[in-house]
Chains A and B, each alone.
Chain A
Amino acid sequence: MSFYREMIAAGFGGQGIMLLGQIVAHAAMNEGKNVMWIPSYGPEMRGGTANCSVIVSDGEIASPLVSFPDVLVIMNQPSLTKFVNRLKEGGTLIYNADLVTYDNPRDDINIVKVNANSIALELGNERVANIAVLGVLAEVTDMASADALKETVQEILGAKKAHLLEINMKAFEKGQEVGKQYVAQA
């Protein structure tokens, strides 16, 4: 079976969900994969939940609609409710434990908790929480390699927000630590 991975990332508008998905797609493209990123768009973008889907494949990407993802990134409570039962059996859930509680979790999936807001606040800027999550994703999924993801963050920030590069890199590494710990225990 050729490589085909589907991901949904969801949270509040403003949590950097769209960017997170784009970085994953971008990194995978840089690794030679075919990629697709698609946002939910519309009224829900303002204040409500926002989500995007990413598909990474070494073959053709046909349907752009992701019904049952392999990877689910959840940044707020409503998104967990909406998406968690759609995660494929054996899939990986990464959720922001600062804003999300998950009682009675499914036992047929991998569950990775990350206190993304705490990590970001400790570093001094809550807005890098999404990059901390990306660091986790780098370790616990095969959407794209950690190196490619890191390079993409550098590429994207390097162009416009060079002064934020350092804090983002730190957030990414903190996320990686969380991810590595999970992998070690699993």
Chain B
Amino acid sequence: MSNRVLMKGNEAFAEAAVQAGCKYFFGYPITPQNEIPEYMSKRLPEVGGVYLQAESEVAGINMIFGAAGTGFRTLISSSSPGISLMSEGISYIAAAELPCVIINVMRGGPGLGGILPAQSDYFQATKGGGHGDYRLLVLAPGSLQEATEFIMMAFDLTEFYRNPVMILTDGFMGQMMEAVEFKKVKLGYDIPDVKEWAVGYMAERGKRTLLKSLSLDPEVLEQHNQKLQKKYRLMEEKEVRFESANVDDAEIVIAAYGTTARIAKSAVKKLRDQGIKAGIIRPQSLYPFPYKPFSELPESVKHVLVVEMSCGQMVEDVELGVSRKVPVSFYGRCGGMAPSVEEIEQAAKKALG
């Protein structure tokens, strides 16, 4: 209890990264994530690190490319339109197999959109964003405590897979305050020494390193793609994370992640209070997506309701998981609006007919 501190989400995200040993941050201001660069600009000099404000998100992600190439832990954060600008660089980083953690504090879109919370970058985060066959490992925390733990874990994951990890969260989580306790999270994976691939160790390694994505020979490029795909298959095997509650006897299961899952949890409680057997599945990893809890729903489940702060994106993955065994319906608010507990309750009742 005594180690708990009341922190704003964005600041807690930043501190978690610092405590995970991240000393390098390159950012660019955009609402609603500004407290992350602000915090880092103050905090990183204290730990002998570097905070640098880039001239754009485009430059920022490429600074990350350069910094990640040294093998040290790096973080960048932005919000939706800024992540779009970074997408090219993220594709290069994934292709060059460099580790970095990216936080997207989502706001409503498309275009410049608004500054209020949304979850409309699910497709961008999980299905691509940039060009080419690459994937990000995407984690979606449901509380600030979980966010700090996921961020610490993300640094291990990104180094183990040598693939960028995205923390997908939203303006609510970025702006809210909760009590957090910074617990050391270690995955215990066997992470290879960075000297095997990072720049600056030519003497130790006995040869130089090339951090690149260009392969003009199609056979070589195909092989490289296959190597990346192998990593993604391994992630699908090892990194699926989700939380479920009250599913065993449920007649309706609500699927939601992040902030929306919290609202949905309150709705589930209210539905249960009224005698309606509701349960919830909350994906914590969005890529790899937890298809299994949806393909193995108990017989009691008559309906799955997906709730998002978007016009319906994760619903497509839930449908894949459910595979038409039971009807899947969707309730969403977007543009910075959030579904209320009451709205979700109504949507669930409607779904059950």
Contact = CB atoms under 8 A, between A and B. Distances in A.
Contact of A62 (B31, B262, B342): B262
B340 A41 contact: no
Contacts of B179: 29, 34-35
Given A25-B177, A35-B6, A36-B178, A41 B32 contact: yes
A63 B263 contact: yes
B284 to A, nearest CB: 15
B115 A41 contact: yes
B172 interface: yes
Nearest to A41: B175
Contacts of B347: none
Contacts of A67: 340-342
B178 A35 contact: yes
A36 B177 contact: yes
Nearest to B280: A62
B281 interface: no
A158 interface: no
Nearest to A32: B1
B182 to A, nearest CB: 15
A62 B4 CA distance: 19
Contacts of B265: 60, 62-63
Nearest to A29: B179
Interface in A34-60: 34-39, 41-42, 60
A99 B59 CA distance: 49
B171 interface: yes
A62 to B, nearest CB: 4
B56 interface: no
B235 interface: no
A22 B6 CA distance: 9
Contacts of A62: 262-263, 265-266, 269
Interface string A63-87: 1110100000000000000000000
Interface residues of A, number: 20
A113 interface: no
Nearest to B1: A32
B141 to A, nearest CB: 13
B176 interface: yes
A174 interface: no
A60 B1 CA distance: 15
B276 interface: no
A35 B145 CA distance: 12
Nearest to B336: A42
Given A42-B116, A63-B265, A65-B263, A37 B341 contact: no
Interface string A10-31: 0000000000001001100100
A34 B262 CA distance: 15
A36 B176 contact: yes
B175 A39 contact: yes
B263 A25 contact: no
B104 interface: no
Nearest to A53: B176
Contacts of A61: 178, 262
Contacts of B119: none
Contacts of B114: 42
Contacts of B338: 65
Contacts of B175: 38-39, 41
A91 B126 CA distance: 44
B225 to A, nearest CB: 41
Contacts of B342: 67
Interface in B21-65: 31-32
B177 A37 contact: yes
Nearest to A18: B177
A32 B6 CA distance: 12
Interface string B319-346: 0000000000000000000101110000
Contacts of A26: 6
A174 B130 CA distance: 59
Contacts of A42: 114-116
A35 B269 CA distance: 19
B259 interface: yes
19 contacts: A22-B6, A26-B6, A29-B4, A34-B178, A34-B179, A35-B177, A36-B176, A36-B178, A37-B177, A39-B175, A41-B32, A41-B171, A41-B175, A61-B178, A62-B262, A62-B263, A64-B176, A65-B263, A67-B340
Interface of B: 1, 4, 6, 31-32, 114-116, 171-172, 175-179, 259, 262-263, 265-267, 269, 338, 340-342
Interface of A: 22, 25-26, 29, 32, 34-39, 41-42, 60-65, 67
Among all A-B residue pairs, the 7 with the closest Cβ atoms: A63-B266, A62-B265, A37-B177, A38-B176, A63-B263, A62-B266, A29-B179
Given A63-B265, A65-B263, 8 more contacts: A29-B179, A36-B178, A38-B172, A39-B175, A39-B176, A41-B32, A41-B116, A62-B265
